[in-house]
């Protein structure tokens, strides 16, 4: 199976990551599981700029294949270490997106990287993220496996990677990219609020729990958001579908 729709969605996500300035040159990675236990997955090729990635460029990898890194078209070693580990140990993580987007990374550099519920976007992630405060260097296999152990709870959809960046999980490319988009927006709101030097108006626990669940249950947003993003690319003549 060639997975044309999954490849197309992945390519669109890479192109939009560039438009939103979430990319890091030829670094960072997205992956999407294509089998039931999530161990086979599509991922971007090694050292390919997000703005150039097309559907046909996606690598099809097996998290349980120890010979993966011995092949000529092997993925980036840190991509294999992080995404391979997550798909190996966290079958609920169908799609995984890792970026060093500006505001999420700023949040990851703070001594306290918590994201308080101060508006609708920040509240979306209330009790739905984990902070990794044990950065151990580049995410080769041992570091990737350690990170994966923090994602065993299916309710946790975001890992704030201390001193590093952010990793976002979802059920599909649309679901994950939508979550990535709003997490970066939420982080920006919080960082800019801190810059005012004024006291923050933090929502109560009960209201934050209620609003977070309401946002999680809100129908069809991620699919409609992503469909429109693809339509914009199509109208602009992008070759991401190739």
- 196-217 CB burial, b ≥16 within 10 A, e <16: eeeeeeebeeeebeebbeebee
Note the pLDDT tens digit of each residue in 177-187. Answer: 999 999 999 99
Note the pLDDT tens digit of each residue in 139-167. Answer: 667 788 899 999 999 999 999 999 999 99
φ, ψ of residue 174 in degrees (nearest 5): -60, -45
Rounded to whole angstroms, the Cα distance separating 40 from 109 reads 33
Label residue 25 left, alpha or beta by phi (over 0 means left) and psi (-120 to 50 means alpha). left
Q: Would the pTM of this model clear 0.85, i.e. be above it?
A: yes
- What would the mean pLDDT of 12-41 be, rounded to a whole number? 96
User: Domains in the chain, ordered, with CATH?
Assistant: 4-235 (3.40.225.10)
- pLDDT at position 139 is 61
Note the pLDDT tens digit of each residue in 111-127. Answer: 999 999 999 999 999 99
């Amino acid at each position: 199976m060639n997975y044309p729709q999954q490849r197309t969605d992945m390519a669109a996500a890479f192109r939009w990551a560039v438009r939103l300035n979430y990319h890091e040159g030829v670094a960072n990675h997205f992956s999407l599981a294509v089998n039931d236990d999530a161990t086979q997955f599509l991922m971007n090729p090694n050292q390919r700029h997000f703005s150039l990635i097309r559907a046909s460029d996606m690598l099809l990898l097996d998290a349980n294949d120890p010979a993966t890194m011995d092949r000529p078209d092997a993925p980036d070693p840190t991509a294999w270490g992080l995404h391979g580990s997550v798909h190996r140990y966290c079958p609920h993580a169908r799609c995984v997106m890792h970026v060093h987007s500006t505001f999420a990374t700023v949040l990851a550099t703070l001594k306290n990287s918590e994201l308080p519920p101060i508006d609708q976007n920040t509240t979306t992630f209330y009790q739905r993220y984990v902070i990794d405060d044990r950065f151990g260097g580049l995410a080769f296999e041992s570091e990737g496996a350690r990170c994966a152990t923090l994602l065993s709870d299916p309710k946790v959809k975001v890992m704030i990677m201390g001193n590093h960046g952010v990793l976002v999980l979802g059920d599909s490319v649309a679901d994950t990219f939508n979550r990535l988009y709003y997490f970066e927006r939420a982080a920006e709101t919080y960082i800019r609020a801190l810059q005012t030097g004024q006291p923050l108006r933090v929502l109560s626990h009960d209201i934050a729990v209620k609003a977070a669940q309401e946002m999680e249950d809100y129908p069809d947003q991620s699919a409609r958001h992503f469909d429109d993003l693809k339509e914009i690319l199509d109208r602009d003549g992008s070759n991401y579908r190739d």
